[in-house]
Amino acid sequence: MSDDLHCETCREDVSRAAATRTETYGDLDSDSWQTLCCPTCGSRLKTVFVGDE
Ligand SMILES: [Zn+2]
C-alpha cells in the first residue's frame, strides 16, 4: 500500500516524505495532527495523525 498523496491542483503524486508539513487549523492539537501540503503549490493534501511518532 502506497503512502503517496495526489495533488488535485498539480495533478501530480506527492510522496508523503516530500509533502510539506504544517500545523493544523482550528482546534486540532498540533502535537498530534499535522497537515501535509503540496511542496509545489501549497495546497492541503491531507491531515494526518502524528501523535504516536
Ligand atoms: Zn500541488
What is the Å distance from ligand 1's center to 5 Cα? 10
Q: Tell me phi and psi for residue 33, to 5 degrees.
A: -130, 140
What is the Å distance from ligand 1's center to 40 Cα? 5
What is the Å distance from ligand 1's center to 29 Cα? 25
Q: Where are the alpha helices (DSSP H) in 1-53?
A: none
Q: β-pairing, 20-23 with 33-37?
A: antiparallel
What is the Å distance from ligand 1's center to 11 Cα? 7
Which pLDDT score is estimated for 42?
95
Q: C-alpha cell of 53? A: 511518532
Each of the 53 residues of the chain gets a pLDDT tens digit; together they read 567 899 999 999 999 999 999 888 788 888 899 899 999 999 999 998 888 76
Which pLDDT score is estimated for 52?
77
The pTM (predicted TM-score) of the whole model is 0.76
